[in-house]
Amino acid sequence: MKNLLAHSALAKALTLLVLVLLAALPLGSIGSLIEERGASRQQAVDELASTYARPQTVAVPFIVFPYTERWTEEKAGEKEKSMLVPRIKRSAQFVFPETSALEGRLAPEQRHRGIFSVMFYGLEASWTGRFAKFDPSALPRTERNSTIEPMAPYLAFAVKDVRGLQGRPALSLGGTSMTWQPRVPDVDEAALGGIHAPLPPELLKAWQDKGTLDYALNFTLVGQERLFVVPLADDNKAHIASTWPHPGFGGKFLAARREVGAAGFDAQWAVSSLASSARSQFLQARSGKATEPPDTFGVTLLEPLNVYSLTNRAIKYGLLFVALTLAAAYMFELFKDLRLHPIQYALVALAISVFFLLLLALSEKIPFAWAYGLAAGASSALLTIYFGAVLRGWRRGLGLGGYVALLYAALYGLLSSEDSALLLGSLLLFGLLALFMVGTRRVDWYALGARPSVSDAR
| DSSP per-residue codes, 384-421 | HHHHHHHTT-HHHHHHHHHHHHHHHHHHHHHHH-GGGH
* pLDDT exceeds 50 at position 456: no
Q: At what angle do helices 24-51 and 318-335 cross, to 10 degrees?
A: 150
pLDDT for res 363: 85
pLDDT for res 40: 77
Cα–Cα distances in angstroms (integers) from residue 312 to residues 182, 200, 248, 261, 424, in the given order: 45, 59, 21, 28, 18
Of 42-46, 88-92, 103-107, 185-189, which has the strongest mean pLDDT?
103-107
**pTM above threshold 0.85:** no
Name residue 299's beta-bridge partners: 227, 249
End-to-end CA distance of the chain: 21
**Beta strand 154-159 pairing with 193-198:** antiparallel
Q: For the chain, what is the radius of gyration of the CA atoms?
A: 34
CB distance 353 to 27 below 8 Å: yes
pLDDT for res 307: 80
- Length of the chain equals 458
* pLDDT exceeds 80 at position 104: yes
Other C-beta atoms lying within 10 Å of the C-beta of residue 265: 21
Name residue 232's amino acid.
L
Q: Report percent pLDDT > 90 for the chain.
A: 27
CB distance 95 to 138 below 8 Å: no
Residue 128: name the closest of 212, 207, 60, 58 by CA: 60
CB distance 92 to 154 below 8 Å: no
Cα–Cα distances in angstroms (integers) from residue 178 to residues 166, 181, 203, 438, 442, in the given order: 17, 10, 10, 80, 88
Q: Which residue has the higher pLDDT, 293 or 223?
A: 223
Q: Which residue has the higher pLDDT, 191 or 112?
A: 112
Residue 28 CB partners (closer than 8 Å, separation 6+): none
Name residue 266's beta-bridge partners: 241, 259
**pLDDT tens-digit readout, 282-291:** 887 766 665 6
CB distance 448 to 9 below 8 Å: yes
pLDDT for res 226: 93
**pLDDT tens-digit readout, 378-396:** 989 998 888 888 877 788 8
* pLDDT exceeds 90 at position 215: yes
For residue 264, the SS3 value is strand
Residue 253 CB partners (closer than 8 Å, separation 6+): 231, 269, 271, 275, 276, 295, 296, 297
Q: What is the mean pLDDT of the chain?
A: 82
Residue 139 CB partners (closer than 8 Å, separation 6+): 65, 67, 91, 93, 148, 150
**Beta strand 226-230 pairing with 147-150:** unpaired
Residue 437 CB partners (closer than 8 Å, separation 6+): none
Q: Which residue has the higher pLDDT, 335 or 244?
A: 244
Q: Which residue has the higher pLDDT, 296 or 345?
A: 296
Residue 218: name the closest of 102, 59, 121 by CA: 102
* pLDDT exceeds 50 at position 1: no
